Amino acid sequence: MKFVPKDMGEAADVSASSQGWTSHLKLILAFLAAVVLVVAILGRLMGAAAYYMPDSWETKLAGLTKFSESSLTECDTEQHPYLTELFKDMVKKVATRKLDYRVECLQWEMLNAFALPGGKVILTKGFLDSVKTKEGIAMVLGHELGHHERRHIMQGLVSGLSTGVLLEILGAGDSVAGAISQQIIGLSVLKHSRENEYEADDFGLQYIVGNFDKTESVTEFFELVLQEQKEKGETASRFSEFLSTHPLTEDRIQRIKSNAKLLR
């Protein structure tokens, strides 16, 4: 009696099924690649469009942030009596956009400073406790004002927002409003490009060179961050959030110092 394998048909089916899965996988990967490409292109286009967005639109968008209702307070005028006036003077002399520029403080121990849509510059308690010199504070204020004036905030926000809204359309988010809100809150940890950081540094430095007698302490904040980084290591540092969002290196400090000399 001749032996005939009974499961030849099943084996043939398994092979067909395997091929089916492979083509399904290829389709899924192609779809994901297309989504990534669309998000990247959309992000770029939206970021570029954000550059031309009217200031009034930014002010309206800023109203959506929950951050403004949280723990932001007026800065302690006893600790740094000149802070508000210094920022006002800076805005008067170098700002050209029609935003509601103001400096506010946040009761966070972490040393940090960042800009929020609509014209706010936020300094943390950790920052105000650590940075002592007027030039050191002015440099950071000028840097954050530079992010506003060069429209880095809105470019970052809108680029990220386009991703959030697209994910929402694909059904991955809670709501479009939620995506907007999350993106704005995320600005406190917004990662600017190295080019944008340098541009903001240059903006702050221009003001200081034109309005201060000396520039020796302009890098105080950055040096404090580096010192802490060396002592504790990046991961354990209370500055780690700042470090993760800014391309902070000794090269950057050197760059600021040499530019300060050149501008003098």
Radius of gyration of the chain (CA): 25
For residue 57, how many other CB atoms are within 10 A of its CB?
12
Per-residue b or e along 212-239, where b marks 16 or more CB atoms closer than 10 Å to that residue's CB? beebebbbbbbebbbebbeeeeeeebbb
For residue 114, give the H/E element and its range.
Answer: strand 113-116
Contact 22, 29 (CB under 8 A): no
Q: Which is nearer to Zn ion, 31 or 51 (CB)?
A: 51
Q: Write out the binding residues for Zn ion, residues 90-149 only, by CB under 5 A.
A: none
Contact 70, 126 (CB under 8 A): no
Q: Which is nearer to Zn ion, 168 or 202 (CB)?
A: 202
Tell me the number of residues near Zn ion by CB under 5 A: 2
Q: Which is nearer to Zn ion, 118 or 179 (CB)?
A: 118
Stretch that binds Zn ion, among 76-84, 123-131, 155-163, 199-207 (CB under 5 A): 199-207
Contact 114, 124 (CB under 8 A): no
Tell how strand 120-124 and strand 102-106 pair up: parallel
Stretch that binds Zn ion, among 22-30, 123-131, 179-187, 194-202 (CB under 5 A): 194-202
State the nearest-atom distance from the C-beta of 14 to Zn ion, in Å. 57
State the nearest-atom distance from the C-beta of 244 to Zn ion, in Å. 12
For residue 153, how many other CB atoms are within 10 A of its CB?
28
Q: Write out the binding residues for Zn ion, residues 23-82 only, by CB under 5 A.
A: none
Q: Which is nearer to Zn ion, 140 or 158 (CB)?
A: 140
Q: Cα(119)–Cα(124) distance, rounded to whole angstroms?
A: 16
Q: Which is nearer to Zn ion, 117 or 179 (CB)?
A: 117
State the nearest-atom distance from the C-beta of 152 to Zn ion, in Å. 8
Stretch that binds Zn ion, among 40-48, 79-87, 176-184, 191-199 (CB under 5 A): 191-199
Stretch that binds Zn ion, among 1-9, 69-77, 161-169, 197-205 (CB under 5 A): 197-205
**By the criterion CB under 5 A, which residues form the site for Zn ion?**
197, 200
